[in-house]
Chain A
Amino acid sequence: MIMDSSTWMELKERYEKRQTLYWENLHVGMEFVPYTYIVTEEIAENVIQVTGNTNHLYSNYFLKPDGKRLCPLGCAVIYSRLSYLGEQYQPPAGGILANMSLKFKKPLCVGDIITSYAKVVSKEEGKGRKYFTLHIHSIDHNNEQVSEMEMTGIWPR
């Protein structure tokens, strides 16, 4: 993935124009607008390149019996995390991921159209920190579950 600095800056500036999601906006039980993510050849290639992944399973030479190309699981982490932000929001600067769990139901493939459903399952404050936990389940275009994720983020102070 080779991106010149001006394109990178443009993407960054576009991101910074997103609305900030505030702590007050989150409540337990809250469900976000379903997020759609299309797993393209380009995304698969870029994840492979950025992570330095050399596993032959992801190459064009290894195809599943149905002729589909496998995609690295990094994509599942990406679409799961984006599921609560969509194309509209950004979290406040400085927040971090505290922990997560990921369950993979079936391989992720190029061409899959993933829809993720995110829900706030807990929101807590303690020891000067604010935590929130999301549960995200994702299905493909055949309505089959592909992954499930739970992630806890620490909201910045």
Chain B
Amino acid sequence: MSMLEFNNVNIGDKIHSTINHVITQEMINQWAVLANDFNPLHIDLEFAKHTKFGSTVAHGSFTVTYLLEMMVEWLGMQWLNGGQLTDVKYTAPVKPGDKISPQGQIVDKKIIDGKNIIECEVWLENQAEEKVIISKATAQL
């Protein structure tokens, strides 16, 4: 994987991601095992029906992984060595059947203490182009 060069990126550049997935209840159930999180809000249809969401919702720990993986897809080792995903806010639930895709763009680039830093706005959106997670991502190039 080629390294992204600081001089070759500009404020406003979009992050190109090929990631998109339809979230299923089966994926959520399997994540419950991996994360050891069997909160009925995620896996119990009857329980979830009576919550404000009206149905099960995907774990926040699950859906945020798609933002992380967009950054890995884009920056590779540059992200794994020091990337920061901050101010992650869950703005809408992700429900089974939702098609989600991570998006982002560069909002700043600067040199701090000799380090080339880029800052991005990143978000996860659903099939209705509604942002379900918003966050900031910072990396050193």
Contacts and interface: CB of A to CB of B under 8 A. Distances in A.
B37 to A, nearest CB: 7
Interface string B31-61: 1111111111101000100010000010111
Interface residues on A, range: 35 or more
A98 B87 CA distance: 10
Nearest to B32: A12
B47 A11 contact: no
Given A50-B34, A78-B34, A94-B51, A105 B29 contact: no
Interface residues on B, range: 35 or more
A78 B61 CA distance: 7
A96 B90 contact: yes
B98 interface: no
Contacts of B76: 57
A70 B80 contact: yes
Interface string B63-105: 0111011001100110111111111111000000000000000
Contacts of B80: 57, 70, 73, 104, 106-108
A107 B77 contact: yes
Interface of A: 1, 3, 8, 11-12, 15-16, 43, 46-47, 49-53, 55, 57, 70, 72-74, 77-78, 81-82, 85, 90-91, 93-108
